[in-house]
Structure formats: C-alpha cells, structure tokens
Amino acid sequence: MIGILGGTFDPVHYGHLRVALDVKEIFGLTEVRLIPSAIPPHREQPAASALMRSEMLALAVKNQPGLRVDARELDRPGASYMVDTLYSLRQDFPAQALLLFIGTDAFNHLTDWYRWRDLFDYAHLVVMTRPGITMQKIDGFFNGRLARNKQELAQAIAGKLFFQTVTQLDISATAIRRMIAEKQNPGFLLPDAVIAYIKQNKLYETEET
Ligand code: ATP
C-alpha cells in the first residue's frame, strides 16, 4: 500500500512530517509520497515556487526511508487537480492500494474539488482527524464507502473512506512564513536544512498581504 500526502508545503514543517510517519506506521505502508501542489486550485498561490517547495521537501525527507517527494504535478500545466494526480499514480501502480490522506478541513470542502467522486475510483480516502475530535456526521455517498477498520483497506485497491487519528502538532506554514517575515526564529518547527534553504534563498522575508 502506498500513501499520498498532497499539500502546498510552503514550507514543509514537522506537522506534515510527523503525520507522514504516523500514517506510514499505522497502515504499514511501503512508502508515503509527499506531493507538492504546483498550482493549487482552491487557495491563494504559494509564496515559494513549486520547484523550491519540492526542493525543501527533498531536504526534509532525505534521511527518512519510506518518505519520498513526488514532483509529478510540476510537469503538468494548469491547475493541479488531485484526481489527475491519482489517475497518473494509478498508471504507475496498477495493482497496489493507494491511500490518499487529507486533513479534516480539506474533507469538509471535498465536494468542491474537481471530479471529487472520481477520487474513489483511484484511491481510498483517509481523513486525518485530531485526537479527541469526534467524527462529523457523514451521509449518502460517503456512508456507503465507510470502512469499519483499517484491515478493510487492504481488501481493495481503492474506493473506501476511513477516519484515522494522527498526531497534531500546532504548526502551520502560514505561522512560519509570518515568523520569518517578522525576523523571529522558526527553529524546532521545521528541519534545520529547510531553514538554511529558506535563508539562502531569502524566502518569506516580506509580509504577505
Ligand atoms: P498553510 O498554513 O500555508 O495553509 P499548512 O501548514 O496547513 O499550510 P498544507 O501544505 O496546506 O500545510 O497541508 C498539507 C496537508 O498537511 C493537509 O492535509 C493538512 O491538513 C496537513 N497538515 C498541515 N499542518 C498540519 C499539522 N500541524 N498537523 C497535522 N497535519 C497537518
């Protein structure tokens, strides 16, 4: 089984890296692919270029076997739709279960995603919840796909929905960018190699508007 964690990673931080490791171990995944979104369709465009965001990711996972950067969205023109990314991964891995991990916030807006129902043709969807938060009510389309336990995910290569609690570190890329613009030290929120890269390339030095 292969895990997929998409995001803007502007920049990658320990919140992302810890959940990647969590889900790798919880689901016994062969690998987790961190996929930087080249042109995110549903939000403001990132401050750092897609290439720089994927270089920061590569530095972050360098010594972590099982976590890898997948830069396939960088080669596609136009908005980076997850359904296209999953289709492309499915071509590479025709027989393996794919697990797409998304945060609760993203799940709450899933029905706004381009061709969201088709995501389930290519992958299982795993919603990463916070400890102590009870699952919100789901119905209809989602209810019929709900897996009762994680073992069910291994029985098909796609099509199921599952909720999994993961470690929540109170870290966000937005807060890190703001700290850097305000000349505060972001140490221990993200890997040192990423901090060095940010400094070298003078990223995030001006406040966002
Ligand atoms: P921004 O602050 O720029 O919105 P972000 O820190 O939320 O960025 P994204 O790249 O948008 O990071 O997130 C990618 C994925 O990682 C999403 O599924 C998101 O829910 C999850 N994620 C982000 N931060 C954390 C965190 N601290 N703990 C657990 N999951 C996180």
Domain boundaries, the chain: 2-171
The confidence score (pLDDT) of residue 64 equals 94
* Residue bearing the bigger pLDDT, 79 or 194: 194
**For residue 197, what is the enclosing H or E element?**
helix 192-200
**For residue 161, what is the enclosing H or E element?**
strand 161-165
Lowest-confidence region among 5-14, 130-139, 176-185, 193-202:
130-139
Instruction: Tell me, using a 6 A CB cutoff, whether residue 172 lines ligand 1.
Output: yes
Instruction: Tell me, using a 6 A CB cutoff, whether residue 10 lines ligand 1.
Output: yes
Instruction: Tell me, using a 6 A CB cutoff, whether residue 191 lines ligand 1.
Output: no
Which candidate, 28, 34, 29, places its Cα nearest to that of 15? 34
Q: 157 alpha carbon to ligand 1 midpoint, in Å?
A: 26
Q: 116 alpha carbon to ligand 1 midpoint, in Å?
A: 20
Instruction: Grade residue 116 by pLDDT with cuts at 50, 70 and 90.
Output: very high
Instruction: Tell me, using a 6 A CB cutoff, whether residue 80 lines ligand 1.
Output: no
Residue 19 scores a pLDDT above 60: yes
Q: How far apart are CA 117 and CA 113, in angstroms?
A: 9
How confident is the model over 150-194, as pLDDT tens digits?
Answer: 999 999 999 999 999 999 899 999 999 999 999 999 999 999 999
Residue 139 scores a pLDDT above 80: no
The confidence score (pLDDT) of residue 135 equals 60
Cβ-contact 3, 32 below 8 angstroms: yes
Average pLDDT, the chain: 93
Instruction: Tell me, using a 6 A CB cutoff, whether residue 169 lines ligand 1.
Output: yes
Lowest-confidence region among 38-47, 64-73, 182-191:
38-47
DSSP annotation of 146:
B
The confidence score (pLDDT) of residue 43 equals 73
Residue nearest atom 20 in ligand 1 by C-alpha distance: 103
Instruction: Grade residue 99 by pLDDT with cuts at 50, 70 and 90.
Output: very high
- CATH no. for 2-171: 3.40.50.620
* Atom in ligand 1 nearest the alpha carbon of residue 175: 2
Q: How far apart are CA 127 and CA 26, in angstroms?
A: 13
**To test ligand 1's pocket by mutation, which of 4, 8, 37 has the most ligand atoms within 8 angstroms of CB?**
8
- The arithmetic mean of pLDDT across residues 123-141, rounded, is 80
Identify the residue whose tokens are 């919100």.
Answer: 136
